[in-house]
């Protein structure tokens, strides 16, 4: 373990100015190259204290700027069109890189490193995605993954994935297992004829 001085808040480690112990690999591969920390040598400690007020003022300005962008970003919905099967399973997945590219194309300054998704998205539907604008400020945007622009509109209006499973799940508990809604075509990309041809559920 080695001691480092944090130059900004880093997760649960601490805030600006904290001296914490971290694994050498974490410091070498993440904290130091991204200028999130300094090695806690005597020279660096003195240098940090000399610049503390300047660093704190800069951090406060960046935080205020990030906070001002939260409300506008909360209204953002990114639409990604992907191929998927009837169950809504994607032929592939959606990653933070895909989101960053979609955000850039829509005119939003969101970097890949700011996007936080626990795992690649592998189904169509609506997803709340966290964007870290500053170490202490996050915003949530909506991701609409669909098989077509028309389906994306339906999902946005209904608030659920455009699959038969989602349509059944949206029914009251006492009917979900025995019936499909009459307007199932609003959820599925099928014609009335195709719906009629489908075997009736018991």
Last residue within a domain, chosen from 30, 47, 68: 68
Is 146 in the same domain as 190? yes
Contacts of 96 (CB under 8 A, 6+ apart): 112, 115, 116, 117
* Predicted confidence (pLDDT) per residue in 77-100, tens digit: 999 999 999 899 999 999 999 999
Q: In what order do the strands lie in the sheet with 125-134?
A: 77-81, 137-146, 125-134, 115-116
Region 32-42: what's the mean pLDDT? 91
Distance CA 37, CA 85 (A): 46
Write down which residue in 27, 43, 68 finishes a domain. Answer: 68
Domain CATH for 16: 3.40.5.10
Which one of 39, 68, 97 terminates a domain? Answer: 68
Residue whose token pair is 């997945």: 93
Domain of residue 164, CATH code: 3.10.430.100
* Ordered strands of the 2-6 beta sheet: 19-22, 2-6, 37-39
- Kindly state whether residues 135 and 181 are assigned to the same domain: yes
Q: Which two tokens stand for residue 4?
A: 């480092």
- Span 18-42, mean pLDDT? 91
pLDDT band at 118 (very low <50, low <70, confident <90, very high): confident
Which domain does 103 fall in, by range? 76-197
Q: What is the pLDDT of residue 172?
A: 41
Find all residues with CB under 8 Å of 184, minimum gap 6, and list them.
164, 167, 195
- This model's pTM is above 0.75: no
Asked if 149 and 63 sit in the same domain, the reply is no
At 54, which helix (H) or strand (E)? helix 42-74
Residue 25 domain-assigned (yes or no)? yes
Contacts of 18 (CB under 8 A, 6+ apart): 5, 6
Percent of the chain's residues with pLDDT above 70 = 80
Q: Do 87 and 21 lie in a common domain?
A: no
Same domain, 85 and 156: yes
């Amino acid at each position: 373990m080695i001691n480092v001085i944090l130059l900004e808040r880093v997760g649960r480690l601490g805030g600006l100015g904290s001296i914490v112990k971290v694994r050498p690999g974490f410091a070498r591969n993440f904290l130091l190259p991204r200028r999130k920390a300094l090695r806690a040598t005597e020279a660096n400690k003195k240098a940090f204290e000399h610049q503390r007020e300047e660093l704190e003022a800069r951090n406060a300005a960046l935080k205020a700027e990030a906070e001002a962008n939260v409300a506008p970003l909360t209204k953002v919905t990114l639409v990604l069109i992907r191929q998927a099967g009837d169950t809504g399973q994607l032929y592939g997945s959606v990653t933070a890189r895909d989101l960053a590219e979609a955000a850039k194309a829509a005119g939003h300054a969101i970097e890949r490193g700011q996007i936080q998704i626990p795992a690649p998205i592998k189904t169509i539907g609506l997803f709340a995605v966290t964007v870290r604008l500053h170490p202490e400020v996050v915003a949530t945007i909506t991701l609409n993954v669909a098989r077509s622009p028309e389906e994306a509109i339906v999902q946005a209006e209904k608030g659920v994935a455009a699959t038969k499973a989602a349509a059944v799940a949206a029914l009251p508990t006492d009917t979900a297992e025995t019936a499909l809604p009459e307007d199932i075509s609003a959820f599925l990309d099928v014609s009335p004829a195709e719906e009629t041809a489908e075997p009736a559920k018991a």
